[in-house]
Amino acid sequence: LEESWLWVIRLKDAIYPIAYQHGNDGVRFHAMKFVETAILMFTSDPSVSSEPPALHQNVDAPGFDVAWIIGGHPVLDASALGQEVSRILG
pLDDT digits (tens, 9 = 90+) for 38-81: 888 777 777 777 677 676 666 565 567 777 776 667 777 777 77
CA distance 74 to 77: 8
The answer to pTM > 0.85 is: no
* 72 phi and psi angles, rounded to 5 deg: 100, 55
Confidence of residue 27 (pLDDT cuts 50, 70, 90): very high
